[in-house]
Amino acid sequence: MNIKLVVVGKLKEKYFKQGIAEYAKRLSRFSKFEIVEVPDEKAPESLSDSEMAQVMAKEGERILSKIKDREYVYALAILGKERSSEEFAKEIKDLTTYGHSDITFVIGGSLGLAPEVLKRADTQISFGRFTLPHQLMRLVLTEQIYRAFMINEGSPYHK
């Protein structure tokens, strides 16, 4: 099984890197795990709607270039479907049971994901309506992926 995160921007904070590295190490017994960073599009603080669309489109092209046809894609989006950890674990288990061994999660830039990326996604997932820093979201997502494998293993980690 292969789990991939395609994310916009670089992770700078050492404490986030350390947390992600810890969960990535734990995940390695279940799956190959990789994070692919694509550059964020530099933009001024205040953008018009068309400038925002251009930034999202450029980031979207970079994201889509890192996704292969056979990959099952989760797009992280505020308007996506919320799941419990148990529901998410069952989804991951079902995907692998039905032949999806390449699962990709996409975290967009500060403006969100381009419509083309959302269209390519097989499903959208939301971690609630809170706005979280993208760097923190990487850590939360990596932990939840690890938690899903632990739930599927019947481990007490989840409790």
- Which residues are known binding-site members? 76, 108
Name the binding residues for S-adenosyl-L-methionine: 76, 108
Nearest CA to 37 among 3, 85, 84, 5? 5
In Å, what is the CA distance from 157 to each residue of 124, 126, 150?
A: 26, 23, 7
Q: How far is CA 45 from CA 5, 107, 121, in A?
A: 27, 20, 28
- C-alpha to C-alpha distance for 91 and 83, rounded to whole angstroms: 10
